[in-house]
Structure 1
Amino acid sequence: MSQGSAGVRGFDFFGAGELPAPNLPADEVASIVRERWGIVAELSPLGSQQDQNFLARVDGEPVGVVKITNPAFTAVELAAQEQAADRIAARAPAVRIATTTTDATGTPRSIVAETSEGPLSIRIIEHLDGGTLTGGGYLSPATIARMGELAARTSLALADFGHDGLERVLQWDPRHADRVVELLAPHHPDPARRRQVTDAATAAWADLADVASALPLQAVHLDLTDDNVVCSTERGIRLPDGIIDFGDVTRSWAVAELAITITSLLHHAGAEPASVLAAIRAFHAVRPLSPEEVAAIWPIVVLRGAVLVVSGEHQVQLDGGENAYAASGIAREWRMFEQAVSVPTAVMSAVIADALDIPGGRVGPGEAGTPGGRVGPGEAGPVSRPGREASRYASPSAALLDDRVASSPPAALLDDQVATSAVRLDVSITSDDVDAGAWLDPDLEDRVALAALDAGASVAWLERGTPRLTASGTHSTTSSATIPTGVDVWFAEPQHLSAPDGYRLVIEAADGVTILDGHMLARTRHRIRLERPDGPKVPHLVRPEYAAGWLGLTGDPAMIMGLDTRPASPGAPRPAGSAERDAAALIARRDRAFAEVQEHYYDAPPRIERGWREHLVGTDGRVYLDMVNNVTPLGHGHPKLAAAVAKQLRTLNTNSRFNYGAVVEFSERLAELLPDPLDTVFLVNSGSEATDLALRVALAATGRRDVVSILEAYHGWTYGSDAVSTSIADNPNALATRPDWVHVLDAPNPFRGLHRGTDAARYAPEAARRIRELAASGRLPAAFIAETFSGNAGGIPLPDGYLAEVYAAVRETGGLAIADEVQAGYGRLGEWFWGFEQQGVVPDIVAVAKAAGNGYPLGAVITTRQIAARFRTQGYFFSSTGGSPASSVAGLAVLDAFRDEGLQRNAAEVGAHLKGRLQELATRHPLIGAVHGLGLYLGVEFVRDRETLEPASEETRAICDRLLALGIVMQPTGDHQNVLKTKPPLCIDRASADFFVDTLDRVLAEGW
């Protein structure tokens, strides 16, 4: 497979000997540039492994890159590089290409100059602005995908390119990787690392040998890496769209273009093998990969990492420590290699094939009639996919039971009689056994297993492939290993198992010690796997991202043991393949049946099917910290609320026209929380209905139709509540479509509003004057409505005294004051239960929802007996589920929890801690313009410039996406969508608050 040097027309690495990079002084190069091109430039050195590069600036503006080529490379090779660049520029016009051109006078920009180191080829290459991806910063999935797309477009453009200058032997060509590692590894100074590299390279080379003959050859850039792309910036988001440095253009395997690109991404912050799947998918979408190429990708990645490590160390020694670029890359190259070998090649090949939904990689034991075999060139072997395994492992000749056990009915493990008493346990996210946070108990699995045995089961077992919530944990920036590659079994009686043909039987005790003799004790956990004999050791639990690969290396012991592996119920979870694919499929179904205007968080959201306290759980067992759910102040899955509502639903659920106690008790207790004279309650289903009803009550009580609201506010989606909503984030046409009976005041935003800082005191008198002017013009207001805390604007407190002055003005004209407490109410501010208390006022009408039912449909309007009585002129009022027995019981359970669990106090204490930590972040990260809010009603506002306050809207969205990848659910808010909506459940503890801040700190430091 590795090519010799016979017939090579250009550079031959193996015949060239040492290859020190040129090292000309900058002033000498500047002199040559001035003399030969007439350019008086200031030169700054740029890194290169074997050449020498300078950025040339004139009057501070870049004019090109001066490249001094290593003298080992011929003129024919340089010509091939220039023509390759021209070819890509012509065939991929959307890609910016750094080409060698002529200046305005026609002077060539490529010459051979006499230098202090002899004749050297010097070129001036076009400078592309935007900067590269050099460095260790985080790369988003969109950026990684764009890298794959660039590689694909390059590959297509060069597919039929031929040139004599391509006939060269480079150390970077993976076709020669075995020889390069063999030649340079002895120079690595660390024996342990040297052995690790050579062993990995040897194994990868063997893997590659299976498919090498089927890999197409063509011209390749061969160095399309993070250092050699340039980016365009669109409103703060950088995406690669240009290619530089064609010095490694040669003829090699076409798939090497992709493999080399993705290898370069592995050293970036947060990168791991699964991270580069976005690039592979993008490449495949433009330039489809064959099964053989899929199988070759990861072996080439490993070999590329090995070559980088040994080459970097060799170049540093060769240049006597003077090549700062090579020296600085040692740690980076080692991280690439470590990531490349962190997952076995067989696993990654199967993961890649699974992601592309095409045959490729290796097959698992027993597949296609070739136990333990590999897919060779031209073979389209099946890809092992969890959930598609059917009965392929259930072979009569492969029984786990040895003859002695199988022939003795009393001792048989699972004969027909015993099999019927086997109990399959369930600790997935849909199981009742994991309710109320039980999944966090490390003894849960043993407890439910022993309970099953005590109830008469002969076997209790946990199935292979189904995500186990019990294996997950909170506050993790990576997914947990939740997918079992085998089964966990508890036997009522001692048992003995032996390996079937074609498999390696692995039995582990609960402490992880392998049981070599196959003898297992009663009432003790045993982990049982069927592994491929020639495969790597398989972990018993693996992360979801790699499950498709690991499961492909194992069989299902349950099938061979005769256990029933059919789904327990139609909705039961099945073995994990791709949680991402499952989530995408659900979104597609949602889009077909659910009105599109009902948006969802994130472009590619995970599928969430469970919650507990301040945590949300995906179907793969990944646990996310929920920092936005102000709908559930008690947290998710609250046991007492669930029990109370369930009991009521079993007993009675009707409407409030019937006479039952719950509606009365809830109304009484809610009214008691309000100051006099607010004593009369209407119950509805939601916050939108609450604000709509509040408006209707005000209009009926005053006999007027005009309403005053403030800008940047959201009050709901019904006709009335939408009419007074002015947030353009929720409705871009909110201002243009507002009816004539709604009049708006300036948003009293002291951070970015019309009046800022101490000048914010001007908002109240200006608002009062506007209300009086409306009244004087004959538009007497029925009501003034405002959030008591500007939540939709980002958790911004109203200026001191604002509501007092505005309420006085509207009452002076005969109108009523409506307090929208849908978000701020119910203790979220910490020190105050209601937002209006912070302003020292008492409204005439209060609208309440969200927190009132902890997610159960419940809202309320509270007003005075006199005002409520006037609404009788509108006829009867009725809400089908507002005030129903179940919703009333939910409301009572919420009030009980506030009383018993100290949620308002927790909001004050944890909220103060959280805000303090966020404010400290602002001292280190200029993107944070301000931290708004009180208690657990906070907003972190991002700006591109603290003077102009230009909103960092795109950055905020990207930061939310990165936070999701790191295990935190967060969303933007505000008219500019540049504020983190920090409104978690009120049960959140300090550990969760710290996890959020620490992770946000990481994102702001590493990038998004």
Structure 2
Amino acid sequence: MPDAPRGFDFFSAGELPAPNLPAAEVAAIAREHWGLELALEPLGSQQDQNFLARAAGDGSTDASTGTPIGVVKITNPAFGAEELAAQDAAAARIAEASPALRIATTLRNAEGAPLHVRAETSEGALDLRLLRFLEGGTLTGDAYLSPAVVAGLGELAASSVLALADFDHPGLDRVLQWDPRVADRVVALLAAHHPDASRRALVDDATAEAWAALAPLADALPMQAVHLDLTDDNVVCRTERGIRRPDGMIDFGDVTRSWAVAELAISISSVLHHDGAEPVSVLPAVRAFHARRPLSEAEIAAIWPIVVLRAAVLVVSGEHQVQLDGGENAYAAAGIAREWRIFERASSVPLAVMTAVIADALAEDGGGAAATATAVTAVTAASERPGVARLHVSVFADDVDGGAWLDGAELEERLAARALDAGASAAWLPRAVPRLTASTRRSAESAATIPLGVDVWFAEQTRLEASEHLILDGALQEADGEWIAPARTRVRARLGRPDAPHLVRPEYATGWLAVTDDPAPMLGLADPAAPSATAPGARTAPSLLARREASFAEVQEHYYDAPPQIERGWREHLVGTDGRVYLDMVNNVTPLGHGHPGVADAVARQLRRLNTNSRFHYAAVVEFSERLAALLPEPLDTVFLVNSGSEAADLAIRVALAATGRRDVVSVLESYHGWTYGSDAVSTSIADNPNALATRPDWVHPIEAPNPYRGRYRGADAARYAPEAAAAIRELAAAGRPPAAFIAETFTGNAGGIPLPDGYLAEVYAAVRAEGGLAIADEVQAGYGRLGEWFWGFEQQGVVPDVVAVAKAMGNGHPLGAVITSREIAARFRTQGYFFSSTGGSPASSVAGLAVLDGYAEEGLQQHAAETGAYLKGLLEELQTRHPLIGTVHGLGLYLGVEFVRDRETLEPATEETAAICDRLLELGVVMQPTGDHQNVLKTKPPLVITRESCDFFVAMLDRVLAEGW
């Protein structure tokens, strides 16, 4: 407990009603003492009174107009001059130490004197100050806070602590109700004012537990001056390109001397009431703080107890203030629900668990991201007793193939029965290994997939010794102090805390595993000397992401800054190693869905028999080529098989050059065709290559993108694109450079799933053919039934190209691409010598292609794409009516694009917002990525097997993000 203070002492001050002066009286004081004409708008405050001040030089007192010039702060009369001086000095100290930050210091007049007056008012003598106004607004409200914003809070807290580390002032010597050093006394004093007895009991109990954890640490916690109220209400942000970035502090009214770590704990507590927040949401702030001002072991242990105590103080103080002010303090009244939400979330996880989670997040070897995966390795490496069968239902287990994991506990029972039938004395599922059988699909929150204990089935009735710390669940009978487990019946065992659930969510697994133990050795299931999944120092290997970055070329980027490790897929779902299931809304490579049994079985069977190159004579390559050619109109009857879309586009260009004897090619701006020399040369997307337009070889001639939404010609005027493109081709020929080919996506995928204007390809194809060139259709993305009504994109345009390049969907993820053209054009390519691809058209690739075509026919995927795509587009268009950020919804079938704009008139692309929305969607269980030259379009191209339930979930999560923030 602090020594008797020189200044304000909450415990002897009694009640603290906030000042409540009329705006007109405050304006008169400003006029008299500062010579300023102000229009005032009330702002909220718990115990002071604040007004936003605007210049009113025209005599108007309208506070809704004019440029803000400051904030008039009327300090609670309980605080004295020394304390106000300390506040001003602390603010000035931080402003000096961190010039990049914006700090609400007291403004000064032309003579340099602070605009601070102690005036006689209708409520007695009060101190009024005019503080600097910081533009951009605070984080006040319940809107979602992104990890970057939360990290910004931690950085600000660190800046405050570092700047004030050696700051001292007589005005710091006071005792505030917000100081966590006296939190237990504050709750004891004010809890009786809480009107709800049940809530009061919860607050009392949580306070007692948190104080018991904190008190032994107190002497080891460094003391210094702190802001003590660096919360969302007092952090100001700049908004840059639609993204908030915390960079300012206001309201130094609670500056005092306390534990340094309290600055961080109080900041992160304010995160907890925001939409989508939970205890682990604060970890970015903790990491950011620790990176600038390292936390000691005692401080790490103190963080969560202080958070809980802060929440308890907020709850009892808020209720007390509302009663004290007679219901006239709207700010305090509005905060009641918010403060209770903070308390509920802060106390939702045991202190020891959350402390262990925080400690793990700050571990030098990369923190929590690697913990679960390492725990899996440690457990599966443990030795077993002879005759005991360890079962596997993680993402790596063969027994969960083919969607078997969706059977949940039934699959576990089947596997146990199989092991016991095979003669095992017991079958068991180990601790700490994520169970895919416990996962859930289409969920905004991760499922509890990490077991803290084990599940065991004994072949015969088995006696288990009772233990104070061993918790058993299941169909057990008690006899003579022992438990009898019936034969072949599941028994669950946990060791340690009685409040520990059997399964926990991955985000909290490291914490729970740290405070519980493995019961397997006690049950005779594993060697007691085997390494424990939770043993200290178990995590020593570099993270998988670090290994990737060390060995994989940096230019081969990965989705997301902190990507989940995806090791399994099923239909339209992707699964991380922790059992988190994500809805895949972007993967147009797998039209039949992930893990398709037909494709997997066909390829595996062929690999067991033979896999060689297409110069050998075998049936699969013939059958596949025949079936592929049959999908195209005459005269497209001849097939080249390659490995990818890039190779297909490159080969299509080479075929056209050989067939015409020319070297020039016309392509379309904003397009992507591949990464090989030829396909990259005709690619013009600046999203894929920022230098694309400046680095095209002289034989490539880009023409304007026919974008009817944001291009030069829009709506009905988009019909002008085709004649202008045709004219460009004729001008090229007239200049002595007639093109060998015109290449274009038949449905502009890279720009966002935008249909070409009606008749566009017909006119452009006619122009290039009139000059002796060929028409190349890039169907890598649009082809293979994705458009629904049409199998090929060129069909939607009512044309037949001379050469078609296709890939992606052909192999359902197996590397497979093709070029299809006429026999005559293919024959001309012979002038270039032989064509050969070692694995293009191999037996395995060919049977993969056949299996995909079989799947299309058996599952009716093209029709499904038409019907489900129309349903999804309808949902998105309805969303557009409620969220102005959605400019439009492009596309057909399951080839859609949701374009975000900041203004529907100017069409300013919302690039940064789109990236942030994709990050937030990942948190909510949806994999989505941006596309387009402005990276402002959601690339909505899911596996064609997607269900309406999954469409509903995607749109619901997008709606949530647009409503709550990103």
Which TM-score band applies after superposition, normalised by the shorter structure?
Answer: over 0.9
SS in structure 2 of the partner of residue 728 of structure 1: coil
String of CA shifts for 1:918-947, please: whole Å, max 9, x gaps: 111111111111100000100000111111
Aligned counterpart, 2:560: 602
1:814 paired residue among 753, 758, 772 = 772
Q: CA deviation at 1:440?
A: 0.6
Aligned counterpart, 1:207: 213
Distance 1:994 1:470 in 2: 23
Matched-pair contact (CA < 8 Å) for 2:116–2:128: yes
1:218 paired residue among 224, 233, 256 = 224
Aligned counterpart, 1:477: 444
String of CA shifts for 1:354-398, please: whole Å, max 9, x gaps: 111279x9xxxxxxxxxxxxxxxxxxxxx999749989xx9xxxx
String of CA shifts for 1:969-995, please: whole Å, max 9, x gaps: 110000000000000000100011111
Distance 1:567 1:296 in 2: 34
- Classify 1:385/1:246 alpha carbon distance in 2 versus 1 (closer, same or farther; 3 Å): farther
- Classify 1:633/1:52 alpha carbon distance in 2 versus 1 (closer, same or farther; 3 Å): same
TM-score normalized by structure 2?
0.96
Q: CA deviation at 1:754?
A: 1.0
The 5 Å alignment of 1:64-463 reads: 64-357=70-363, 387=375, 419-442=385-408, 443-463=410-430
Aligned counterpart, 2:62: none
- Classify 1:121/1:510 alpha carbon distance in 2 versus 1 (closer, same or farther; 3 Å): farther
The 5 Å alignment of 1:968-1007 reads: 968-1007=926-965
Aligned counterpart, 1:881: 839
Distance 1:820 1:250 in 2: 67
Aligned counterpart, 2:2: 3
1:871 is aligned to 2:829: yes
String of CA shifts for 1:33-81, please: whole Å, max 9, x gaps: 1221111111111110000000001261010000000000000000011
- Range with bigger deviation, 593-602 or 326-335: 593-602
The 5 Å alignment of 1:813-892 reads: 813-892=771-850
String of CA shifts for 1:892-942, please: whole Å, max 9, x gaps: 000000000111111111111111111111111111111000001000001
Matched-pair contact (CA < 8 Å) for 1:548–1:577: no
- Classify 1:388/1:996 alpha carbon distance in 2 versus 1 (closer, same or farther; 3 Å): closer
Question: Which amino acid in structure 2 is aligned with residue 481 of structure 1?
Answer: A
1:795 is aligned to 2:795: no
Aligned counterpart, 1:560: 522
Distance 1:466 1:34 in 2: 70
SS in structure 2 of the partner of residue 211 of structure 1: helix
The 5 Å alignment of 1:15-30 reads: 15-30=12-27
Distance 1:624 1:87 in 2: 47
Aligned counterpart, 2:433: 466
Q: CA deviation at 1:775?
A: 1.1
Matched-pair contact (CA < 8 Å) for 1:306–1:337: yes
Distance 1:658 1:470 in 2: 44
The root-mean-square deviation of aligned C-alpha atoms, in Å, is 2.3
Distance 1:476 1:53 in 2: 43
SS in structure 2 of the partner of residue 735 of structure 1: helix
Matched-pair contact (CA < 8 Å) for 1:291–1:358: no
1:709 paired residue among 634, 643, 667 = 667
Distance 2:175 2:705 in 1: 68
Aligned counterpart, 1:956: 914
Matched-pair contact (CA < 8 Å) for 1:467–1:576: no
Q: CA deviation at 1:236?
A: 1.3
Unaligned runs of at least 5 residues, structure 1: 362-382, 395-415
Q: CA deviation at 1:574?
A: 9.7
- Classify 1:516/1:14 alpha carbon distance in 2 versus 1 (closer, same or farther; 3 Å): farther
SS in structure 1 of the partner of residue 495 of structure 2: strand
- Classify 1:943/1:513 alpha carbon distance in 2 versus 1 (closer, same or farther; 3 Å): farther
Question: Which amino acid in structure 2 is aligned with residue 211 of structure 1?
Answer: L
1:893 is aligned to 2:845: no
String of CA shifts for 1:81-115, please: whole Å, max 9, x gaps: 11111111111222211101312233431110111
Question: Which amino acid in structure 1 is aligned with residue 342 of structure 2?
Answer: M
Q: CA deviation at 1:552?
A: 1.6
Q: CA deviation at 1:513?
A: 13
- Classify 1:866/1:985 alpha carbon distance in 2 versus 1 (closer, same or farther; 3 Å): same
Matched-pair contact (CA < 8 Å) for 2:451–2:503: yes
- Classify 1:582/1:436 alpha carbon distance in 2 versus 1 (closer, same or farther; 3 Å): farther
Distance 2:483 2:44 in 1: 58
Distance 1:595 1:917 in 2: 40
Distance 2:913 2:378 in 1: 46
Question: Which amino acid in structure 1 is aligned with residue 660 of structure 2?
Answer: T
SS in structure 2 of the partner of residue 419 of structure 1: coil
The 5 Å alignment of 1:476-495 reads: 476-495=443-462
Distance 2:572 2:918 in 1: 17
Aligned counterpart, 1:380: none
SS in structure 2 of the partner of residue 784 of structure 1: strand
Matched-pair contact (CA < 8 Å) for 1:81–1:249: yes
Matched-pair contact (CA < 8 Å) for 1:53–1:67: yes
Unaligned runs of at least 5 residues, structure 2: 57-65
String of CA shifts for 1:421-476, please: whole Å, max 9, x gaps: 10000000000000011101030001100111011110000000011111101001
Matched-pair contact (CA < 8 Å) for 1:384–1:552: no
SS in structure 1 of the partner of residue 21 of structure 2: coil
- Range with bigger deviation, 424-433 or 99-108: 99-108
Question: Which amino acid in structure 2 is aligned with residue 302 of structure 1?
Answer: V
Distance 1:639 1:546 in 2: 34
Matched-pair contact (CA < 8 Å) for 1:583–1:607: no
Matched-pair contact (CA < 8 Å) for 2:476–2:486: no
Q: CA deviation at 1:517?
A: 5.0
- Classify 1:567/1:555 alpha carbon distance in 2 versus 1 (closer, same or farther; 3 Å): closer
- Range with bigger deviation, 120-129 or 208-217: 208-217
Matched-pair contact (CA < 8 Å) for 2:477–2:483: no
Matched-pair contact (CA < 8 Å) for 1:11–1:168: yes
Distance 1:515 1:121 in 2: 75
The 5 Å alignment of 1:578-597 reads: 585-597=543-555
SS in structure 2 of the partner of residue 456 of structure 1: coil
Aligned counterpart, 1:652: 610
Aligned counterpart, 2:495: 530
Question: Which amino acid in structure 2 is aligned with residue 216 of structure 1?
Answer: P
SS in structure 2 of the partner of residue 67 of structure 1: strand
Distance 1:390 1:662 in 2: 44
Distance 1:941 1:384 in 2: 37
TM-score normalized by structure 1?
0.92
Matched-pair contact (CA < 8 Å) for 2:583–2:926: yes
Aligned counterpart, 2:60: none
Aligned counterpart, 1:737: 695
Distance 2:527 2:841 in 1: 46
Distance 1:351 1:671 in 2: 58
Aligned counterpart, 1:376: none
2:892 paired residue among 934, 944, 951 = 934
Percent identical: 75
Question: Which amino acid in structure 2 is aligned with residue 434 of structure 1?
Answer: V
Distance 1:157 1:683 in 2: 66
String of CA shifts for 1:99-136, please: whole Å, max 9, x gaps: 01312233431110111001100000011111100000
Q: CA deviation at 1:499?
A: 3.9
- Classify 1:173/1:1000 alpha carbon distance in 2 versus 1 (closer, same or farther; 3 Å): same
Matched-pair contact (CA < 8 Å) for 2:321–2:332: yes
Q: CA deviation at 1:516?
A: 8.7
